[in-house]
Structure 1
């Protein structure tokens, strides 16, 4: 009889132990389930946060406006050891210092004429351009290209820019020639730029090389291409017209 009681007691103890073990397993399972759910929520929150940050970055990037300087060796920075010393890069530095959301693209080609510019304008306009600075014509004048051709080519470039995006603001950089090209030629050449600006309602830099052209210490040995200090003045001449536009 005592033996039976002992066996019953042992059996009850085993059952109680099993119940406790099952409760522990159930409790552990609940912890695992809630833990996984919490991790999933964290992952979802992280994914959503990353997605929002990516969208914000893309929006900021797409909001950046473009200033394209389309010109010849003056724009390209011919003869300078560092192209960052050319006036387009100086403009970018100025813009960055003011935290303005513009990127300046240097599209200068040394030796470029208005004819060459007309030939490559369509390729350049594959990108969106908000402000277009047209700096061409000097090489035409130095080569004695007929002025009717220079005027026609500049007009064709202006037309191409506006046809691509009528909202693009165009700044035309005026140029002048040394007197040895002949008075009639140099006088008519000088008038091309203000006349085109008025005809097309463009912004005009009266003379890009103001305070630089003809000043020996501000030009390289060839007497034509500005030094580093010369380019700083060119940037000032451009900025005088550009600043009111980008701050509108």
Structure 2
């Protein structure tokens, strides 16, 4: 092979290697570019996902409300009224809404309920999250002459159940008074029973939930026991005095 042929062969080899090298470089650059795009897309998708999760969490937090549960008898249930919205828990909800506060009232009143009945159903009532719990029971016990020790034990059991569920739940105990025909000793001890329960358990205490309503004919229905709509408005104002500081 002469010198000219050798030079031609070397030139061909160099050109071939150069072409392969260029192809290799192009291939590597293409891979790096695609990898970079993939990282950018992955980063963008991650950012979008995080943004969606954050937005959903914010929406959930903004829509969640704290529950105020009224646990009682016919007074709480609104016996004799056209709608439970007219009962004092409903009036309290109207006050809350007017102030644009993030609380929802749940009316868990049952007409004719005794302390024993309340004790038997408190378990499933506490399946929900509660911020504030108002206990209004015992009047039907008193009107039936139930031994005070039994009523007191039932009310204490309800209070214990609420505390066991969540010690941070704020409990309000609503006191009740009986008509004088039940006997002076019984009515006096009945009144004191609520005060003692509130003191022992360190509860917010409303001495008489029917303050300025009980015994006033025009504020009660024909039975003389259950408040009218106007009567419930007054009860709501009484409850509000003790409830509002807890928000």
Q: Quick one: distance in 2 between partners of 1:187 and 1:176?
A: 8
Query: Separation in 1 of the partners of 2:163 and 2:51?
Result: 40
Whole-Å separation in 2 of the counterparts to 1:48 and 1:186: 63
Normalised by the length of structure 1, the TM-score is: 0.79
**CA separation in 2, counterparts of 1:229 and 1:46?**
54
Deviation at 1:47, TM superposition (A): 7.2
Counterpart in 2 of 1:166?
167
Alignment of 1:198-209 (within 5 A): 198-209=199-210
- 2:89 is aligned to 88
- Superposed displacement of residue 57, structure 1: 1.5
Q: Normalising to structure 2: TM-score of the pair?
A: 0.79
SS in 2 for 1:106: strand
Deviations 1:183-230 (A, max 9, x none): 000000000111100000000011000000000000001000000000
SS at match of 1:67: strand
Q: How many residues align?
A: 205
Tell me which residue corresponds to 2:110. Answer: 109
* 4+ residue runs over 3 A deviation: 43-53
> Which residue of structure 1 aligns with residue 197 of structure 2?
196
TM-fit CA distance, 1:61: 3.1
SS in 2 for 1:132: strand
Question: Which string of whole-angstrom CA distances, capped at 9 and with x for unpartnered residues, describes residues 133-154 of structure 1?
Answer: 0000000001110000000000
Unpaired segments of 5 or more residues in structure 1? 1-39
CA shift at 1:70, angstroms? 0.3
Match of 1:54 among 29, 52, 56: 56
> Which sections of structure 2, spanning at least 5 residues, go unmatched?
1-40
Query: Residues of 2 paired with 1:50 and 1:84: CA distance?
Result: 38
Q: Secondary structure at the match of 2:112?
A: coil
Is residue 2:143 matched to residue 1:142?
Answer: yes
Root mean square deviation, CA, Å: 1.8
Counterpart-to-counterpart distance in 2, 1:115 and 1:47? 52
SS at match of 2:104: strand
- Which residue of 1 is the match for residue 221 of structure 2? 220
2:12 is matched with which residue?
none
Counterpart position of 2:6: none
Write the distance in 2 (CA, Å) between the matches of 1:162 and 1:220: 36
